[in-house]
Amino acid sequence: MAGHSAHQAAPTPAPEIAIIDLSLMARRVAFKFVCFFVGVPVYLAGVSLALASETEAHLLARVQKETDPVKKSKGQTRLARIKLEQAIQAYDHGDIEQGVQLVSAYLGRIKDSWQTLRSSGRNAARNPQGFKELDIELREDLRLLADLEQRVSFYDRAPLEQAGKELERVRAEVLQALFPVARMIEATKPSGKTD
Task: Using a pLDDT cut of 90, give the percent of the chain over it.
Answer: 57
What H or E segment, with its residue span, contains residue 157? none
Which whole number is the average pLDDT over 99-118?
96
| pLDDT the model gives residue 31 | 66
What H or E segment, with its residue span, contains residue 176? helix 158-178
Which whole number is the average pLDDT over 53-82?
90
Other CB atoms within a 10 A radius of the CB of residue 155 amount to: 7
| pLDDT the model gives residue 56 | 86
Assess whether pLDDT exceeds 50 at residue 168. yes
Q: Among the listed ranges 17-21, 30-34, 191-195, which one has the minimum average pLDDT value?
A: 191-195
Indicate the domain borders of the chain.
25-65, 69-187
- Closest alpha carbon to 171 in 124, 125, 139, 127: 139
